[in-house]
Amino acid sequence: MSNRLFTAFACLLTLATCSFCACAQTEIPAPIPPSSIEESSVEQIPAPLPQEISPFWNDAGVDLSKVRTERKLVALTFDDAPRNKLENLLAVFTSFNENNPDCHASATVFCNGNLLDEHARTLLHTALVAGWELGNHTQNHLDLTALSTQEQRFEIDSTDALLQTVDGNARHLLRAPFGRIDDRIRALANAPIIDWTVDTRDWTGVSAETIVREVLSKIYAGAIVLMHDGFEQTVEAVKTLLPALKSAGYQAVSVSAMAKAHACKLRNGSVYIRARKRGKA
């Protein structure tokens, strides 16, 4: 489960607007160390900085070939995965995409390392082929703020390493369990931290109709929707949501695809509740 009213309140207190784009984020991390800048400036043709010290999320490999620029974009995200409904969710997306090739839908799935057995990784590979993005929801779904820095490092790095065996990427967007974040996590994340615009609270047992109503009443271009793997009502809601979103002019895409399509350059270590076009209020 990934939301608490406390967290939402804390986010409201700390949100600020990124100076580079209209992404909503909480804090700009420390700039590149001066020593790195000096090193590159002495060369006639500066070498590109290693990704490890770039302040920005590397979106070079994010595929936008199926993103329809005439549509409003929204990111559906599924936490606590992979569990027993991911296969059903993938089937719903596949069915929708077969019937709506002009509005290809995908999502971001935030995974827990302790769930990534052989079968789970096979499922995630299927998701990857379908255009989904894999995100890091930590190894054991603990409150990271209650851990030592070494333990935080393990929770993030071990899941990144497991996900790398599926998608080949060394780093993944991070969603902290319960949305609990502190300065130490921001400093060591090495990736953008993704919160949400709309919390469906699907894990509380609300009906599919309630989930659909909540999403459709609160989304806008650039919104990020929080849902979870493991609940039948979520699967049922998505069956309704995908065609409803299309009818309302939206396309469901991954968080990274939405940010890149919106020219929203995500910063590693910053917290985002949405990613939308420059200049949009």
- Give the residues lining the site for Zn ion (CB under 5 A): 2, 79-80, 177
The span from the CA of 252 to the CA of 67, in Å, is 9
Residue nearest to Zn ion (CB): 2
Q: What's the min distance (Å) between Cβ of 228 and Zn ion?
A: 7
H or E, element range at 238: helix 232-247
| All residues at 6 or more sequence positions from 227 whose CB lies less than 8 Å from its CB, including other chains | 76, 77, 78, 79, 200, 202, 211, 234, 237, 238
Would you say 2 or 251 has its CB closer to Zn ion? 2
Contact between 192 and 163 under an 8 Å Cβ cutoff? The reply is no
Q: Phi/psi of residue 192, each to 5°?
A: -65, 150
Would you say 2 or 26 has its CB closer to Zn ion? 2
Q: What's the min distance (Å) between Cβ of 79 and Zn ion?
A: 4
The span from the CA of 191 to the CA of 137, in Å, is 12
Would you say 2 or 139 has its CB closer to Zn ion? 2
Q: What's the min distance (Å) between Cβ of 112 and Zn ion?
A: 8
Would you say 79 or 214 has its CB closer to Zn ion? 79
H or E, element range at 162: helix 149-167
Contact between 180 and 144 under an 8 Å Cβ cutoff? The reply is yes
Would you say 79 or 155 has its CB closer to Zn ion? 79
The span from the CA of 164 to the CA of 134, in Å, is 9
Would you say 57 or 78 has its CB closer to Zn ion? 78
The 3-state DSSP composition of the chain as helix, strand, coil percent (nearest 5) reads 45, 15, 40
Q: What's the min distance (Å) between Cβ of 203 and Zn ion?
A: 8
Q: Are strands 271-274 and 24-25 parallel, antiparallel or unpaired?
A: antiparallel
Q: What's the min distance (Å) between Cβ of 252 and Zn ion?
A: 20
Q: What's the min distance (Å) between Cβ of 2 and Zn ion?
A: 4
